[in-house]
Amino acid sequence: MKYLTIIILLFASKSYAQESKQFTIDGKIKNTLSLDLGALKDFKSVKLDSMVVFNHLMQRKSVIQNINGVLLKDVLSKVEILSESPKKLSEYYIVCTATDGYKVVFSWNEIFNTDLGKHIFVLTSFDVNPSKIEKGNIASISPTDYATGRRFVKGLNKISILQVN
């Protein structure tokens, strides 16, 4: 019975670790910013019908449907990056971190200087399968990646803007 209790607690903590109702933006910026689902409603909404999530081996992992979100680029435009000059922005990168510690990286140029920036989303709701709706769980994804699961951050709780040294 003792082992069953431990297993149940492990599963409960794993599912809890994925929940995120707000996130902060920090790093080399003028002021740290915290955003929740309510604040994200102020941004232009993006809707996608569905997308397949592939793992690193390009195997179909899942399908997410009824996707609602906002552009990461729009969210990041609300903070002032501390940079000596516009030329130095090419040295910056963005780290999106999940509640369970999973991290993905984008360069400043990927987001603000390529077409990819028009396709990286902060998700405000999505359906993983018909029985489980992820409303109230903030995530991020880059749907134009080939292995979409590699940069799918479920439970987004922090975005850090950093500079290469």
Kindly tell me if the per-residue pLDDT of 91 is higher than 70. yes
Distance CA 158, CA 156 (A): 6
pLDDT digits (tens, 9 = 90+) for 95-150: 999 999 999 999 999 999 999 999 999 999 998 765 554 444 899 999 999 999 99
The average pLDDT across 38-43 equals 94
Q: What is the pLDDT of residue 154?
A: 92
CATH superfamily of 20-163: Oxidoreductase, molybdopterin-binding domain (3.90.420.10)
Sign of torsion over alpha carbons 74, 70, 143, 157: positive
- Residue 11: pLDDT above 80? no
What does the domain layout of the chain look like in residue ranges?
20-163
Instruction: With 0.85 as the threshold, say if the pTM is over it.
Output: no
* 117-36-112 Cα angle (round to 5): 15
Q: Is the pLDDT of residue 6 over 50?
A: no
